[in-house]
Amino acid sequence: MSLPPVARTIHRHLDVEGVRVFYRESLPARPDAPVLLLLHGFPSASHQFRRLIDVLGPYYRLIAPDCPGFGRTEAPPGFTYSFDRLADITEGFVRRLGLTRFVAYLFDFGAPVGFRLAERHPERIAGLVIQNGNAYIEGLSAGARDFIALRPETPGAEKTIRDLFTLEGTRGQYETGVPEPAVIAPDGWTLDQHFLDLPGRKEAQLALAFDYRSNLDLYPRWQAWLRDRTPPALLTWGADDPFFPEPGARAYLRDLPDAELHLFPTGHFALETHLAEMAPLIADFLDRTHL
């Protein structure tokens, strides 16, 4: 019986502006293999991509960092948790690795980080894989809009946000919108909760939650960037995401009419349920954009 290869992956820390950024990197057989920068979402980290790395890592160079406030990355005391600063650290990380051209995988929080990076260095972006990463007002559910509207001075706002950091809240993000939750391994949300419960992590996530509205102000700029730059784009979307529902995926087609759109009957963490369908699409896209 012939078995498919499994990726050889390294796990390291890299210092970027005093932040010890943890990352995973596959070591493909080809030294000139296409590069895919994997930008994770909330409340997860690079471990959310471990199965994708196992499948595609033998053929492509997949690199997945943990943002400050997530996973195994260690930020110094006094670090400012904002999406601008997450982008600063990601930009420094890319520079330290010497990445000059890559496809960016934008998921959830990874979308506002990735779009900031794309604006700063459009020459580095060979293409975009966008999976439940929003850049349009219509891509926000009513619940998401209410959540984003919360301000520190709003009575009960902090408690509402902190309720999302509980084990029940974390598990719910994985299972809501999934027809058969039993297909989702508990490892992801259990590990997410472990990191959320580390000292200072909930305060970091609270700051990012209150800063999320800064992304909405940038939506018109990101949409203009897409129209002007017309990057190749693959849209793979969990259509029943309770935060970023299907209209957010279709909205990209206004600015990127040639983008390839695939909708899956699942929730937010679509890779957890549809890796077998999504991995070949991503591989084909990497091959087509590696020119």
Catalytic residue positions, numbered: 268
Both tokens assigned to 251: 């909205």
List Cβ neighbours of 133 (8 Å cut-off, separation of 6 or more). 41, 106, 107, 108, 110, 111, 114, 244
CB contact at 8 A, 3 and 18: no
Nearest to 7 by CA among 33, 32, 25: 25
Nearest to 250 by CA among 135, 145, 146, 142: 135
Nearest to 41 by CA among 173, 152, 136: 173
10 forms bridges with which residues in the sheet?
25
Hey, how many other C-beta atoms are within 10 angstroms of the C-beta on 285?
21
Both tokens assigned to 63: 């690199």
Nearest to 143 by CA among 243, 241, 217, 212: 243
3-state secondary structure 133-189: CCCCHHHCCHHHHHHHCCCCCCCCHHHHHHHHHCHHHHHHHHHCCCCCHHHCCCHHH
